[in-house]
């Protein structure tokens, strides 16, 4: 499920990286805090310290890789699904969030624990950096696809911001899910469905464009 940094390592090394991540996750969840040092962590788990460093530069790098793994996993699930390709962009985005919710469900305790560290909403915590860039890479593709199919309106200046708007949207969903206590996280499903619909109302051709067009007309003909 996890990828290491874009390295050319042999297949068995992936599983070593996985073992390290698994041990780390367990440590954090049972101890409620990060290990004191890479030294103590590897020692407790019967590894060599340098083994750790050949995969991750630090605990932070490990967390980044772990979080990025969620997005990679979702992408894999989607692209191997035969129906996904026939979806509209709106449906692809919905499918992405639903799948992400499912993937995160399997790791909920750890995810919630990590999100607690995120106290200042304006500052992106380091563990989310890889997660964010992987998401943005994916969403930019979809936005371009949406512009081609006409689902997303082209707007000068504004449409450059769409990827960051979608990132904020993902953060919203993450926070919503974080606090969701409904059975089977049904409310998160509703939040996803409704907010994506709204988002597509806003970025699709519609009121906004007509208002702008009218404003321009008034300005030019005053």
Q: Which of residues 125-184 bind another protein (CB under 8 A)?
A: 182, 184
- Min. distance of Cβ 132 from another protein in angstroms? 23
Binding residue (CB under 8 A) for another protein from 95, 124, 165, 171: 95
What whole-number distance in Å separates Cα of residue 135 and Cα of residue 166?
9
87 contributes a contact to another protein by CB under 8 A:
yes
Among 150, 190, 209, 214, binds another protein (CB under 8 A): 190
For another protein, which is the closer residue by CB, 20 or 192? 192
Number of residues in contact with another protein under rule CB under 8 A: 27
Nearest Cα residue to 21 out of 73, 61, 80, 75: 61
Query: How far apart (Å, rounded) are the C-alpha atoms in residues 67 and 110?
Result: 11
Taking CB atoms within 8 Å and a gap of at least 24, the contacts of 142-151 are 142/89, 142/92, 142/93, 145/89, 145/92, 146/89, 146/203, 149/88, 149/89, 150/205, 151/88, 151/89, 151/90, 151/200, 151/204
d(CA 72, CA 70): 5
Q: Is 197 in the site for another protein (CB under 8 A)?
A: yes
Distance CA(34)–CA(41), nearest Å, equals: 9
Residues 96-115 that bind another protein (CB under 8 A): 98, 102
CB of 194 to another protein, least distance (A): 5
Smaller CB distance to another protein: residue 26 or 193?
Answer: 193
Of 25, 64, 90, 169, the residue at the interface with another protein (CB under 8 A) is 90
Give contact residues for another protein (rule: CB under 8 A): 81-83, 86-87, 90-91, 94-95, 98, 102, 182, 184, 186-187, 189-190, 192-198, 200-201, 204
């Amino acid at each position: 499920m996890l990828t290491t940094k874009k390295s050319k390592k042999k297949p068995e090394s992936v599983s070593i990286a996985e073992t390290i991540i698994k041990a780390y996750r367990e440590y954090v969840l049972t101890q409620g805090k990060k290990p004191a040092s890479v030294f103590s962590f590897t020692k407790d788990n019967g590894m060599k310290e340098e083994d750790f460093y050949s995969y991750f530069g630090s605990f932070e790098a490990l967390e980044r890789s772990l979080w990025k793994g969620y997005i990679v996993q979702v992408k894999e699930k989607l692209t191997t699904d035969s129906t996904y390709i026939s979806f509209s962009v709106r449906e692809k985005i919905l499918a992405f969030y639903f799948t992400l919710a499912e993937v995160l469900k399997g790791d909920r305790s750890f995810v919630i624990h990590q999100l607690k560290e995120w106290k200042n909403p304006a500052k992106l915590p380091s563990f989310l950096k890889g997660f964010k860039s992987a998401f943005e890479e994916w969403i930019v593709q979809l936005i371009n696809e949406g512009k081609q199919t006409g689902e997303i309106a082209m707007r000068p200046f504004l449409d450059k911001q769409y990827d960051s708007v979608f990132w904020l949207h993902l953060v919203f969903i993450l926070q919503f899910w974080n606090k969701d206590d409904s059975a089977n996280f049904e409310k998160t499903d509703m939040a996803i469905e409704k907010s994506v619909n709204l988002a597509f109302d806003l970025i699709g051709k519609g009121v906004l464009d007509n208002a702008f067009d009218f404003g321009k007309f008034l300005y030019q003909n005053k």
